[in-house]
Amino acid sequence: VCKRVEAELGRRPGGPRHGPRPIDVDLLLLGDLEHVSERLTLPHPEVTARRFVLEPLLELDPQLALPGGQALQGFTAAVADQPVRRSSPL
């Protein structure tokens, strides 16, 4: 579903990893589900290492936690030095 949404919004496969793209849709968390396969890892392996991911998630749910109960709020200090720019108000 994520790949289909990306294609509909103009993303083409095969670009450079972490390169510019019109849209990037990632599945970050799915309740308490933990899953590892060739195509998908849940929770997303970098969900706690990216400020631009953590801050919006915590705006939606300040109590959000990883499977097993570890609060995402506890990871914000480690990424506080990463620059983030809001492109528009919520």
Query: Is 39 an annotated catalytic residue?
Result: no
Residue of 4, 12, 17, 21 marked catalytic: 21
Instruction: Answer yes or no: 61 catalytic.
Output: no
Active-site option among 4, 24, 39, 86 = 24
Q: Which of 4, 17, 26, 50 is catalytic?
A: 26
Euclidean distance between CA atoms 32 and 3, whole angstroms: 23
Q: How far, in Å, CA of 29 to CA of 71, rounded?
A: 13
- Examine the residue annotation and report whether 21 is marked as an active-site residue of this protein: yes
The active-site residue, picked from 11, 32, 81, 86, is 11
The answer to whether residue 26 is catalytic is: yes
| Cα distance between residue 13 and residue 22, in whole Å | 12
Active-site annotation, residues: 11, 21, 24, 26
